[in-house]
Amino acid sequence: MPIHILAKGWSEGISAIPYGWSLLKYAPWLALLYALKWYFNGAVSPSERNMHSKVVMMTGGTSGIGAEVAKGLASRGAQIILLTQHPLTDPFLVDFIEDLREQTGNELITAERVNLASLHSIRQFATKWIDNAPPRRLDMVVLCANTRTPPGGKATMTVDGLEATWGVNYIANFHLLSILSPALRAQPPDRDVRIIIGTCSSHMGGHIPDNISNPSTSKKTKKNGKEAAAVPFTPGGVYATSKLALMTFGHAFQKHLSTYSRPDKKPMNARVLFVDPGWSRTPGMRRFLTFGSLWGLFVYLITWPIWWLVLKSADQGAQTFLYAVMEEQYQRGEGGWLLKECRKVGLMRPEIEDEGVQKRLWELSEQTVEKLEKEGAKRRAAEKAAEKAAEQTAEQATENKGDGKKTGKQGASANGAAKQRKGK
């Protein structure tokens, strides 16, 4: 039919086609809209790979880009282990896994409860994972979990007293990978092991903090030879710092893996890759754009066509992650590459590759984690002792109440017996 319409327009003129001039008038604008949307959607992964038998551990795999990455991996046959803060019996998590299994035809999708805002929770899971002989199979670790305080928001704290953005985006990943290191190094030499870390271009505005436990107040600038006041907390500043620190640690972790001497004398087969997925329409981005407020959400809904145009969908944001997972060329080399729009790009901050900065950051991070875990252990012991004391008090009160009732009954029986004797 389109051929007949075009032929009629060619022979009899545009006016012979219904709404022909209107279509001709709006066609350039529609073409421009299509071109802009195609541009903002970004690249599509050109790589394809059979993921059957691959074991992939994921954080942030239940929402946003992480959920699309999990779906893409599961549809290619990978065994997915989702690390989530939800209880394993949570209806949302149960329905999410069942839906994912049904959509992908893959039953090898499970979850483990790991609260990234708790160092104790991370250690419990990771030590249980590596405490296995022979070592469990682990082909990939995909770190998609991410959090950010909305602009103008106040700092929130983790269980261990860390600022939430810093604690979840950096310290949690540092702690998890540090403990899982033996499991990654123990994989057979013919296995392609990848550690894929999600990052953001905002890392270019971050700084390596002096105070790992409170990075928002650790940056100091020199003025006239004197140190100026510490920079106050800003959501964007802490977020950028967390991403810069994570990339710096990732490079240090790659060196940590590469310098390991395997018992079989084979070369190390683990590679660290960083992925910048670009700006996408995810729950986190929506919270950022709305400033975490209802009024912001109202404005977001009104301006949604703009965000639809300039932001990727979660599926499009997942393309570079899938590229990092499946691209063959990343099986070899030194690792530590930054990928964006399904291609390798250069690093913009030189301190990421500075060995001195890496060593200092690692040491400070280890000291902070050790200190916080000791404090957490003392706190849990005190809470447990308090609960035990409360239980003992409640039991004693119950026993005393029972003894009182028994004494009362005995007294009543004695009074009754006395009355009976008196009556006789």
Classify residue 407 as exposed, middle or buried by CB count within 10 Å of its CB (0-12, 13-18, 19+).
Answer: exposed
> Tokens standing for 39?
């541009």
Query: Is residue 232 within 8 Å of 152, Cβ to Cβ?
Result: no
Cα(194)–Cα(325) distance, integer angstroms = 7
Cβ neighbours of residue 36 closer than 8 Å, sequence gap 6 or more: 309
Cα(324)–Cα(193) distance, integer angstroms = 12
Q: How is 276-333 classified by DSSP, letter by letter?
A: E--SB--HHHHHHHTTTSHHHHHHHHHTHHHHHHHSB-HHHHTHHHHHHHH-GGGGSS
8 is known as an active-site residue: no
Going by C-alpha positions, the residue among 148, 147, 167, 150 that lies closest to residue 159 is 167
Q: Which residue has the tokens 């890759």?
A: 273
Going by C-alpha positions, the residue among 95, 101, 57, 59 that lies closest to residue 77 is 101
Query: Is residue 130 within 8 Å of 186, Cβ to Cβ?
Result: no
Catalytic residue among 71, 243, 255, 312, which? Answer: 243
Query: Is residue 249 within 8 Å of 170, Cβ to Cβ?
Result: yes
**Residues assigned a catalytic role:** 243
